[in-house]
Amino acid sequence: MRGVSFGIAPGEILGLIGESGSGKTTVARAVMGLVRSATGSVRFEGREMLGLSEQALRKVRRRLHLVFQDPYDSLHPGMRVHEIVEEAMKIHGVGDRAGREAAVLAALKEVGLTPISHFTGRYPHQLSGGQRQRVAVARAMVLDPALVLADEPTSMLDPSLRSGILQILKRHRDTHGTGYLFITHDLALARHLCDRVAVMFGGRLVELGPTEAVVANPLHPYTKMLLQAVEELAPPSPSGADYPTSDQAQESYATIASGLQEVAPGHYVACNEMNQPILDRPTTEKEE
């Protein structure tokens, strides 16, 4: 990963798009302060994160939470649902026992694990994949973080359950003003959820802009290729494509992205590459 710059405003959902090996997860880990070798600057609520001591980081992490891709791996198999959700509050010394219990119940209700009494005493192996991911989301929400980093949180779920999780995230953003970094390889999914998208390729950001603008008017050859693949995989459209125009692109929080140039309001692209075909892809995954 090199020269990656972006910002997330309170209550904003930024989609980080890219294929396997493009560096998406590394970005999330760096934001959490988990990449010791990272250089540059990560400012969270005005505070520099890079170089913080483990102890100071732990404090910051109360306001910052991760939701992982695999709900089968991310929940402790020996803990019950209410213990899993409560654990972070205990670690951060939040509230008394009654207060924590109320917060756990509220979080479980918010993610739709009802009737709550049916779920609190259960172990992860007694839950379906969709229910597990809801527990993981409840765990992230219970401390009312300012920023949630969600790493492909729905890619392992059935399509019919995916939108349920997305609705929970969206509603939580709307009611709590939480910011989200939503990592996905699925541009169509990002279109439904994200205010802006950042496209990663070979460890760098190649395009960044309001979601509708990027989808309607992709500028970087890699974004174009990605979009073409998504359209090819999409269901055939009976009524012909209805392309949104780029003037629908909303005003967004400006981000000065290094190496990127602003070509439309809030729409950045790695310009020197704009008209060059992708010959040698710098990813680990070399296809044809």
List residues binding another protein (CB under 8 A).
19-20, 128-131, 158-164, 166-167, 185-189, 191-192, 215, 225-239, 241-243, 285-288
Least distance (Å) between residue 162 CB and another protein:
7
Helix residue ranges per DSSP H, the chain: 24-31, 54-60, 81-91, 97-110, 116-119, 129-141, 159-176, 187-193, 211-216, 221-233
Instruction: Check residue 140 and report its DSSP letter.
Output: H
Q: Are 156 and 189 in contact (CB under 8 A)?
A: no
Residues in the chain, how many? 288
Nearer to another protein, 9 or 161 (CB): 161
Q: Are 166 and 192 in contact (CB under 8 A)?
A: yes
SS3 call for 109: helix
Torsion, Cα of 228, 234, 239, 244 (10° steps): -50
Least distance (Å) between residue 151 CB and another protein:
16
Least distance (Å) between residue 145 CB and another protein:
24
Nearer to another protein, 80 or 185 (CB): 185
Nearer to another protein, 47 or 192 (CB): 192
Nearer to another protein, 1 or 214 (CB): 214
Least distance (Å) between residue 131 CB and another protein:
7
Least distance (Å) between residue 173 CB and another protein:
15
C-alpha 75/C-alpha 131 separation (Å) is: 11
Nearer to another protein, 98 or 279 (CB): 279
Strand partners, 80: none
Least distance (Å) between residue 64 CB and another protein:
27
C-alpha 2/C-alpha 21 separation (Å) is: 13
Least distance (Å) between residue 126 CB and another protein:
11
By DSSP bridging, strand 13-17 and strand 43-44 are unpaired
Nearest alpha carbon to residue 15 among 207, 233, 203, 177? 207
Helices and strands (H, E) in the chain, number of each type: 10, 10
Nearer to another protein, 95 or 164 (CB): 164
Nearer to another protein, 55 or 175 (CB): 175
